[in-house]
Amino acid sequence: MSTSPAKCFLLDGPLMGVEERRAAMTLQMAAVLLADDGVVDPADTHRTLHAAGYNAIDVMMLAEAARYEAHQQLIAKVISDD
């Protein structure tokens, strides 16, 4: 495990492009949730994202958006498989 603290996308990045970075981080988190089946409930979502190394502030701010995105991707996959 790394001894350096995890970076927060909001605090450690430039002020310009916050929305774009937030959207990209949400998509990354959604991919992690889909890969680890962390979409089931909010507690699993938080545990999965913390275990993946995301900063606690990012998890608090973006977990629900990432979970929603992961649900949308699952629904799209089910619909396209039919």
The per-residue DSSP string of 26-69 comes to HHHHHHHHHHTTTTSSHHHHHHHHHHTT--HHHHHHHHHHHHHH
pLDDT in tens, 10-48: 666 666 677 888 899 999 999 999 998 877 788 899 999
| DSSP state for residue 41 in the 8-state scheme | S
**Contact (CB, 8 A) for 29 and 62:** yes
Q: pLDDT at residue 49 above 90?
A: yes
Mean pLDDT value across residues 65-73: 94
Q: What is the pLDDT of residue 65?
A: 95
Asked whether 71 and 30 are in contact (CB, 8 A), the reply is: no
Q: What does the pLDDT read at residue 15?
A: 62
Residue 50 above 60 pLDDT?
yes
